[in-house]
């Protein structure tokens, strides 16, 4: 998986690199990023859970929903989701 910040160096820094953000802001950004990826692919939580199970990651609907809605998931969970969704590149944008 490749993580890319697509902000041009000549532009203002990306919000993903804003060191003044609070933990709550980071949590919201993480949740929004994962939700946007699911929406882009037309995938709901039930399908995500099926895809996670297929790669050996066993989660319940309640746990997935809570993690994503709070934005308090680990980077490992994020990578597992991206692997389950067959996403090789993640773009960090403003």
Give percent above pLDDT 90 in the chain: 65
**3-class SS of residue 53:** helix
Estimate to the nearest angstrom the gap between the alpha carbon of 43 and the chain centroid: 13
**pLDDT tens digits for range 23-46:** 899 999 999 999 999 999 999 999
- Which run of H or of E encompasses 90? strand 89-92
Domain ranges of the chain: 43-94
Q: What are phi and psi of 21, to 5 degrees?
A: -70, 145
**pLDDT tens digits for range 53-94:** 999 999 999 999 999 999 999 999 999 999 999 999 888 765
């Amino acid at each position: 998986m490749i993580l890319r910040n697509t902000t041009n160096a000549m532009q203002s820094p990306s919000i993903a690199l804003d060191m003044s953000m609070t933990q709550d802001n980071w949590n919201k950004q993480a949740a929004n990023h994962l939700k946007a990826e699911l929406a882009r692919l037309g995938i709901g939580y039930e399908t995500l859970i099926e895809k996670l199970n297929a790669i050996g990651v066993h989660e319940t609907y309640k746990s997935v929903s809570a993690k994503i809605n709070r934005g308090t998931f680990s980077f490992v969970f994020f990578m597992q989701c991206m692997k389950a969704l067959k996403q090789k590149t993640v773009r960090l944008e403003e």
